[in-house]
């Protein structure tokens, strides 16, 4: 029994060493690259998933990648609105952001959610710093749609503040809020904010962590490599539908702004970011120009 356990441990050690060796070319390829990662609110609700994500981020940083985290927090916002008895209205499935709602969004995202992620990364040996799109006018916005209230569409990204943090060895963790021209606060969709920030940084990668495997064809199979033209054609032919449309549009906008590649992937898969960046097969659907 002891011998079998020892042999199993040896096999595991050999497998680990082999994976590290195979990862070397990918680590070298991404050396010094900026990677923007959109983390959904559902992942934050699990302590185990949060710790695993934080370890991956610190490992990426140790390998000289420059991770920038943009997070959501929808479930936490919904819980707080319910506790405060604030009615949530929706137009075409999208939340209407009244001034009262935006106050709650800012409190939850910039407070509890942001600091939970920061602390998780710091607990794993990283140096994370939390901020929102309002800090140093990081995300300057205009109103996206009057019917949705204070929902912002970024038109300018102050990338200098993020570059400053990166150059000083910090990991930025950003809440998706923005500032209007008159100083008003805007609620910004997390994917939209991540895409705008990735474009402003001319990032090597934008990773959109979702709760689906990626972009699928008519048969339901995940497409691992796509061009912008293919995405446009699939959207016109109603192959890409529903909630995947805004994600692929975010990807196309980011690529247009100078991001080298965008990956839409299932963030529930353990070590999803490492699988995408450091293995041959990757994870999810990669979209390039």
pLDDT band of 200, cuts 50, 70, 90: very high
Q: What is the pLDDT of residue 94?
A: 75
pLDDT at 7: 60
Annotated active-site residue 41? The verdict is yes
Active site residue 149: no
Residue 141 — φ and ψ, nearest 5°? Answer: -130, 160
Contact status, residue 211 vs residue 107, Cβ threshold 8 Å: no
Residues 6+ apart with CB under 8 A from 228: 252, 255, 287, 288, 289
Among residues 124, 113, 249, 129, the alpha carbon closest in space to that of 194 is found at: 249
Is residue 247 annotated as a catalytic residue, yes or no? yes
CATH top-level class for 23-288? alpha beta
| pLDDT at residue 10 greater than cutoff 70 | no
Selected catalytic residue, list 38, 135, 152, 190: 38
Is 9 a residue whose pLDDT tops 80?
no
Helix (H) or strand (E) holding 195: helix 190-201
- CA 131, CA 122: separation in Å to the nearest integer? 15
* Of 56, 135, 191, 213, catalytic: 191
Catalytic site residue from 40, 41, 126, 282: 41
Q: Which of 239, 240, 264 is nearest to 251 (CA)?
A: 264
- Alpha carbon distance 51, 165 (integer Å): 22
74 catalytic per annotation: yes
Enter the tokens of residue 240. 């890409």
β-bridge mates for residue 210, sequence order: 266
Catalytic residue selected from 133, 152, 200, 247: 247
Q: Kindly report, residue by residue over 137-176, the tens digit of the pLDDT.
A: 999 999 999 999 999 999 999 999 999 999 999 999 999 9
Sequential DSSP letters for 104-129: HHHHIIIIIIHHHHHHHHHHTT--EE
Check residue 1 and give its pLDDT: 60
pLDDT of residue 22: 82
211 part of the active site: no
Three-class SS state of 199: helix
What is the average per-residue pLDDT within 76-89?
90
| pLDDT for the residue numbered 74 | 87
């Amino acid at each position: 029994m002891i011998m079998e356990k020892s042999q199993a441990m040896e096999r595991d050690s050999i497998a680990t060493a082999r994976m590290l060796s195979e990862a070397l070319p990918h680590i070298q390829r991404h050396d010094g690259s900026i990677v923007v990662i959109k983390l959904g609110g559902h992942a934050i609700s699990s302590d185990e998933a949060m710790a695993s994500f934080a370890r991956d981020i610190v490992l990426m940083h140790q390998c000289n990648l420059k991770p920038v985290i943009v997070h959501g927090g929808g479930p936490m916002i919904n819980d707080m609105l319910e506790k405060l008895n604030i009615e949530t209205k929706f137009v075409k499935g999208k939340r209407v952001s009244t001034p009262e709602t935006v106050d709650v969004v800012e409190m939850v995202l910039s407070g509890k959610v942001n600091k939970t992620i920061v602390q998780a990364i710091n607990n794993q040996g990283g140096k994370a710093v939390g901020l929102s799109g309002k800090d140093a006018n990081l995300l300057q916005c205009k109103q996206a749609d009057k019917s949705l209230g204070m929902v912002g569409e970024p038109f300018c990204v102050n990338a200098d503040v993020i570059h400053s943090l990166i150059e000083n060895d910090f990991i930025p963790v950003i809440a998706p809020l923005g500032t209007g021209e008159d100083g008003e606060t805007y609620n910004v969709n997390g994917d939209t904010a991540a895409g705008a920030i990735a474009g402003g940084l001319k990032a090597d990668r934008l990773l959109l962590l979702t709760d689906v495997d990626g972009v699928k064809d008519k048969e339901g199979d995940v497409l691992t490599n796509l061009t912008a033209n293919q995405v446009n054609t699939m959207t016109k032919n109603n192959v890409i539908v529903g909630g995947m449309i805004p994600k692929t549009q975010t990807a196309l906008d980011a690529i247009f702004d100078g991001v080298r590649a965008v990956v839409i992937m299932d963030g529930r898969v353990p070590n999803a970011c490492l699988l995408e960046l450091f293995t041959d097969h990757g994870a999810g659907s990669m979209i390039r120009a």
